[in-house]
A and B are shown apart, each in its own frame.
Chain A
Amino acid sequence: MSRAAHEELADLRSEVLRVSANLIESIPRAAQILLDQDLEGAEYQILADDEFDMRTMVLEERCIALMALHAPVASELRHAVTIMKMSADLERSADLVVNICKVSRRIHGHELDAKLRGLIARMGQQAQSLFKHSFEAYADLNLPVAKAVDDMDLFLDYLHKQFIQAIFESHSAGHIDLPIAVQMAITARFFERIGDHAVNCAHFVQFLITGHLPPAGDHRRGGRGGSDLTPIGGIPLPVTEAR
């Protein structure tokens, strides 16, 4: 690849890190907006999403242009693919953050139990932590950190289950109405999905470093790594049928 292409790739890396940093910042903020039912903050986050979408879209276009014009190979090709994949996950996660902010509008004026509030704050922290680790794994090309994200996601799933349980309890005790309970349930889902996107990002960081993509869904059964990794070679397609 030419010098200009190397600079472009470095530039893309810097931009993807900046976009990630913005997302990492917004996850616990959204949880706080929900807890405070801060309508102004929610409005701000919702409006900020347009710029975020734009930036991720430009990132993808630039990756495509890079691949088309400069024909990168090996680690540089993987890098371009990783950035493209990560921007899609970042874009979806930012939408989920916006969804959480929208929930704060819908439940406005309704009190939540302390237990639900505590779990919302915890899920926000955990979802942020997942993305923070994916971010660090990518910034430092740190394989152990990238792999740790899978285990961290298990804890987020556990919090998700606890949260659903707490919603049932709160509803049957008559503390929250059914519409609020439904809103809470989808909120729990939003956080859990953000975690899944962080896991996807971490998987592509692993792909960037090793050239292998961990098999989809495998980490939930604890059978990560080892023999059933799909070798990719120089071909940048995450083929999983070899399993």
Chain B
Amino acid sequence: MSPLAPFPVVEHQRVVLEEGLTLDCGVTIRPLAVAFRTYGTLNEARSNAILVCHALTGDQYLAETQPVTGKPGWWSNLVGPGLPVDTDRFFVICANVLGGCMGSTGPREEMTDADGNGLGRPWGTDFPTVTIRDMVRAQKKLVDHLGITRLLAVIGGSMGGMQVLEWAATYPDAVLAAAPIACATHHSAQNIAFHEVGRAAIHSDPDWKGGRYWEDGRIPAQGLSVARMVAHITYLSEAALMRKFGRRLQGAKAVTFLEDVFQVESYLRYQGSTFVRRFDANSYLTITRAMDYFDLSQEHGSVPAAFAGTPTRFFVASFSSDWLFPTSESRALVRALNAAAARTSFVEVPTDKGHDAFLLDEPDFHRALGGFLRGAAREAGL
């Protein structure tokens, strides 16, 4: 199938599992493709594997150059030789989520019928509704395929953190240590509201064409770009925006009331325009929905019930200026873990960088996560 413009053609490493996956919505997708990357070496006992779960617009290119954008991996400051997630010691796996657009089964991939026969067109908006748990089930199939029965750790921030929680709740015996970072046990009404603005922007772009934009090779660039701009604001903090841009103008010294552009506008437009060259609009709709549906207590009765008797040890971290997944949400998670008698570590990292801080150089966060992983490795006899 020809790639959708304007994505360049990239062959992603992936496994294709013929048995497919039955989703929470009842639909079975067959076959199931999981695109993934690994770093480091799996030891003989297969006991040093760490799974990293990516966020909404992340991908499996965790610690290497992203082939589509040419930019460094999104967590290359944290994952690598000698870094807190040390690839000299650990075998690190990262998979593109189900519903994503970097090679895993998703709206951009070829649609299949119930028998797994290709239909010669992308899924588009016919891609079934997926949940965070479906994403985790797909990752579990990959981990099984790699011959790993127990992960030393599952780590992730934002939507990646939601997957971490789902991993620990669904497969407690397969997760020795879990690090949900800058996340929550459910998506808040405010977060759903911001997502809906993004989706509305995509829906209102004439090029979206009811989701069938793939028919003529166009993409709803304007709508997807606006969605990204709105979302990007939620990833930053007011202090960070003031520090980076203040009220400075792009290419002018004083406001003239003639087509002036503030630097922050120009920055957001740039963010929006680069995003549409690497992300699929229907994937964005699918994944934001999955986040919105996420609610651990609804799935398990209560959050403590989700982790009752868990053998997993947890490291929770929040960032003080994160208003998308504020510390109060992480603290509620920590209290629920305490109520479930789970072994839990928690730090709130002081920073003015907002939600994005989990991707940036935050020495306290890196030090704490590194120590937590070393502790887990000690316990696993590594």
A and B are interacting partners: no
| Residues of chain B having any CB pair with chain A under 8 Å | none
| Residues of chain A having any CB pair with chain B under 8 Å | none
